[in-house]
Structure 1
């Protein structure tokens, strides 16, 4: 259902509030530069610090600005199942193509709890679901057997997975347990190349926020099996992948965007703080290496 370079969009703030004008510019730039879809209100979008009203406005603005040119996968995850349903219901009404639903964090549900959570979403909403597995943040891991069970139970409702587990063997495990057409997207930029080689379709990317054209070109090279070109582009992007996590994300990527565009402020919301001096140096060096500044 999805493929290509898909940025997990940062949410710009100005004077503590959602900067709608800057966000519209970011969405427009992403589409112009070749991004295949857009993800508002994911981890990089600081969804955990947005009120529900802000969350819904960010999704709404993204869909309005995209205007059907690319699909929007709205971040809909929550550690409260009922609140996730609220987000998905709103996103569906607003025109999203799917909802990105992270494993519930903090609660630490069992695998049975995960099945119950995602089953409830599938049965009580009509928006297609992209599973999001990022155990480094949520503590809970959506195990391979759970993914297979959920997709087999709801083949028309659970359409893809963003895998940020860092375990490349899962791509093959999912392919063996499910149809090879099941959409797998990398959630780790530094593993984008091997993930696609193993059968992935693209990435929901942090780096694509600041290097959308390079990331789109990189994905096109992989898809065309132009491995030499893909490796060359990967070498240009690789330091940037790591620089994006040289401090608590999304502070580094927001700083990077502020270096590339004067209309984007680097501010994050508490409990995060702006990128450290060391992080800013790492980002600047990576941007120079990639030829972006």
Structure 2
């Protein structure tokens, strides 16, 4: 369940910005039917930064309810405030989530010792499996391999979503951790190369709208059928790139609406709708990827 194609699920909202249960159910069923390994609920792509603490918990619990054990759910529980991250984590104990994804503290710019103490405190507060999440392009904070190695010694810290896009990090980390420590890519563009080097899968933005294709790429990679995986991945490469033409999840929400997966592409300020010029770019990427072209109107 901590391998293969895991979707970093968008949080669908109605035209007024309230959580849209109808679209959430449609998305979750889409992933169940597509064979997606697991859902990350209310991670970065799920707009965790603009949901209230109560909404955050409600979305994860609604996701669990709709999933009904037909697909595993990982709760996004990261914060730049250690106490809040602990509170969110404890909120989901005995809820049915299989684990938590916890991002490095943003804005604070802690030292490596600060990072170690932050994640140690979270892990010690719960029995839930913990996935670290390193994405310095968004947080301004880079967790170094030596710190990851220290944290890997804590029993319920089981792996990391590594989203630097720096493939050299894989060997740096694997040389320092035990064999059972899980490395998962957080970067769609380099994910296949990441898996070639020993990664177990991807927590994917692209999977929101190309679920079956991302499942297939991960399956082929796990079987070491890299030529076939490369062909499919190259078909999606325009899409991998186009979905980040503006800050995530602006483009992927627009694409999900275009493909009929959600009713509205509503975002909360300070996120704003996809620009007209980039709508054209994302539309062309959808067409090149062969995704339900008839719906791209």
5+ residue gaps, structure 1, are none
**What SS is found at the alignment partner of 1:93?**
coil
Structure 1, residues 174-202: CA drift from partner, whole Å, max 9, x if none?
21111222111000000011100110000
Separation (CA, whole Å) in 2 of partners of 1:231 and 1:267: 34
Aligned pairs for 1:142-161 (under 5 A) are 142-152=143-153, 154=154, 156-161=155-160
Q: Deviations over 1:128-162 (max 9, x none)?
A: 1100000011111111000000112x0x2101100
- Would you say the 8 A contact 2:39–2:73 is kept in 1? yes
1: distance between equivalents of 2:122 and 2:189? 31
TM-score by length of 1: 0.97
Partner of 1:29: 30
**Which residue does 2:42 correspond to in 1?**
41
Contact 2:28–2:66 at 8 Å: present in 1 too?
Answer: yes
Aligned 8 A contact 2:78 2:85 in 1: yes
Correspondence 1:54 to 2:55: yes
User: 1:229 & 1:123 partners in 2: Cα distance?
Assistant: 43
Q: Aligned pair 1:242/2:244, yes or no?
A: no
Of stretches 31-40 and 86-95 in structure 1, the one that deviates more from structure 2 is 86-95
**Mapped contact 1:4–1:220 kept (Cα < 8 A):** yes
- Give me the whole-angstrom Cα distance separating, in 2, the residues matched to 1:54 and 1:20: 12
After superposition, the C-alpha distances for 1:13-72 in whole angstroms (9 at most, x for unaligned) are 111111112111111111111100100111100000000111001100111112222221
Q: Is the 8 A contact 1:102 1:131 kept in 2?
A: yes
Residue 106 of structure 1 is matched in structure 2 by 107
Residue 257 (structure 1) aligned with residue 259 (structure 2): no
Once residues 27 and 222 of structure 1 are traced to their aligned partners in structure 2, the CA distance between those partners, rounded to angstroms, is 24
1:186 aligns with 2:185: yes
CA contact 1:76–1:99 (8 Å) conserved in 2: yes
Residue matched to 1:271: 270
RMSD: 1.0
Aligned to 1:18: 19
1:262, CA displacement in angstroms?
6.0
8 Å CA contact retained: 1:248, 1:275: no
Structure 1 position 264, deviation (Å): 2.7
CA drift at 1:102: 0.2
In 2, the alpha carbon distance for the partners of 1:277 and 1:111 equals 41
8 Å contact 1:251–1:273 — kept in the other structure? yes
Across the two proteins, how many residue pairs are aligned to each other?
A: 291
Preserved CA contact (<8 Å) 2:195 2:221? yes
- Asked if 2 retains the 8 angstrom alpha-carbon contact of 1:63 and 1:95, the reply is yes
Which residue in the other structure is 1:173 paired with? Answer: 172
1:77-119 deviation line (CA, Å, top 9, x unaligned): 0011111111111122321111100000111110110011011
TM-score using structure 2 length: 0.96
